[in-house]
Amino acid sequence: MSRSLFAADALLPQGWARDVLLAWDETGRLIQVQADAQAPQGVPRSAGPVIPGMPNLHSHAFQRAFAGLTEHRAGQQDSFWSWRTLMYRFAARLGPQHMEAIATWLYAEMLEAGYTSVCEFQYVHHDADGRPYADDATLSLALLRAAQRTGIGFTLLPVLYQTSGFGGLPPNEGQRRFIRTTESMLCLLDALKPVCEAQDARLGLAPHSLRAVPPAALQEALAGLDALDARAPIHIHIAEQTQEVDDCVAWSGQRPVAWLLDHAPVDARWCLVHATHMDDGEYERAAASGAVAGLCPTTEANLGDGIFDFARWRAHGGAWGVGSDSHACVNAAEELLMLEYGQRLVTRQRNVGADAAHRQVATALKLAAVQGGAQAAGRDVGGLAAGQQADFVVLDARHVALQGLPAPEMLSAHVFASHRTSAIDAVWVGGQARVAAGRHALHDEAAAAFVAARRQLLED
Ligand code: NGQ
Ligand code: ZN
């Protein structure tokens, strides 16, 4: 099998290049990315422009089967919190087979939609009654199998969850499957480490939020993680809802991002998921910490979170990436679209995501999100450069929305003027073709198993 591809147009970290020869080694790592190359004999040619695969930096896989089920008014005023109550009810029924079937379909969908790796923020740990499974890692292992089967790159972030609110409020009924001691979390990480290594997945840790993890536990867990892997990624939900900002201020006198920056060694290992509500000082300090802002534009819209001040974050040089979180939408291009449109609506300007290096918004957003996503994933998935994984997407140059356009406009049309997934021809992960002619090999089989699992969950 050829471990190379020739692309008439490819999006490299510096920008668009012509006549690019990509070559990778047997482990799937790029060893050559050469622009203005001659097409060597026998090297396959891509059917369209090649763009880097997008790392999805935030996923709760099981929620894919719940998407679409809360789009009706249930109370006087529905909110993130009323959604969460329903989501807990759904999570209460989930078994290991459901988890695997849902995640297998979800990861196949992700691949078809331009994501080549995913960070799984995994917090349903225990059996329905709240007791640990005989094998405590059961549900994490189901996710690892789904990743392996579909071929998506994987970062597993087991979640520490202990309290229902600031100040050590005891967990509620709906949270019983999530709860574990810090010690048992460290045991879980120990158990998962060899499994992750065997399939080239990265293992990190996710303290769920400051609402769910008291300060002493946070410290202890971080120390334990460091002992296991001092460079492992750390993700946390931080300031998604104004209610949690208010509660944090009432508890500590500080807003959550400010509190975290003062009490934890936040640096480039960290991903601050939904850092939506920050004041000016928090934007500046959080960006300077080197942490990645984990933006989930379609979920944040779906849940009524509020809008991140993207221009301010970038003015401070902040890193960022995107995640599909609750999976109301599973589409890398659509997250960029939603991000840009949210900013346009608020600022009443256009092309907010463009930057000095790249005037094309889609190009600028894609490159930045790949870089930030790779940092959050803790894996070498930062784009088309030697030393990085050969994770890439071939746009469908024959799609009506793209046909005949210059390559940068093809990417713009893919993001802003197409049905997005349908304008993708092929997706490669670690040098292996996982999607061809827009389809993952497991598409039909995984879809059927997903539908069956969801039906069962809704019947019980
Ligand atoms: C989650 N989802 O962990 O699934 C959360 C809801 C919470 C989002 N934050 C639960 N979008 O934050 O307590
Ligand atoms: Zn989340």
Query: Would you say residue 205 lies in a domain?
Result: yes
Which structure tokens are listed for 214?
């008291």
Distance CA 166, CA 237 (A): 14
Query: How close is the Cα of 208 to the center of ligand 1, in Å?
Result: 8
34, 84: one domain: no
pLDDT (tens digit per residue) in 378-397: 999 999 999 999 999 999 99
Query: Residue 357: its pLDDT value, please?
Result: 95
Task: Answer whether residue 460 is part of any domain.
Answer: no
Same domain, 156 and 300: yes
* Domain presence at residue 178: yes
Which of 9, 325, 391, 396 does the annotation list as catalytic? 325
Catalytic site residue 391?
no
pLDDT of the residue at 34:
98
> Same domain, yes or no, for 119 and 202?
yes
Q: Are residues 310 and 352 in the same domain?
A: yes
Residue nearest to atom 1 of ligand 1 (CA): 60
Looking at ligand 1, which residue's alpha carbon is closest to its atom 4? 60
Residue ID of nearest Cα to ligand 1 atom 3: 208
Q: Whose CA is nearest to atom 7 of ligand 1?
A: 84
The H or E element containing residue 260 is: helix 256-263
Q: Is beta strand 432-436 parallel, antiparallel or unpaired with respect to 115-122?
A: unpaired
- Would 411 be classed as within a structural domain? yes
Q: Which ranges of 52-135 does DSSP label H, i.e. alpha helix?
A: 80-91, 96-112
Ligand 1 pocket member 305 (CB < 6 A)? no
Q: Which atom of ligand 1 approaches the CA of 274 most closely?
A: 9
CATH code where residue 363 lies: 3.20.20.140
Host domain of residue 41: 4-51+386-444
Residue 237 CA: nearest ligand 1 atom is 9
Nearest by Cα to 336 from 353, 314, 348 = 353
pLDDT in tens, 4-61: 999 999 999 999 999 999 999 999 999 999 999 999 999 999 999 999 999 999 999 9
Judge whether 248 lies within some domain.
yes
Best residue among 84, 236, 296, 325 to mutate for probing ligand 1's pocket (most ligand atoms within 8 Å of CB) is 84
Residue 334's Cβ-side half-sphere holds a number of Cα atoms within 13 Å equal to 19
Span from the CA of 307 to the centroid of ligand 2 (angstroms): 16
| Structural domain count, the chain | 2
Q: How far is the CA of 237 from the centre of ligand 2 (A)?
A: 6
Check residue 2 and give its pLDDT: 82
Is the residue at 455 inside a domain? no
196 with 181, same domain: the answer is yes
Active site residue 60: no
Residues of the chain with pLDDT below 70 are 1, 460
pLDDT at 420: 87
User: Domain with 25 in it: what CATH number?
Assistant: 2.30.40.10
Rounded (5°) CA angle 110-421-141:
10
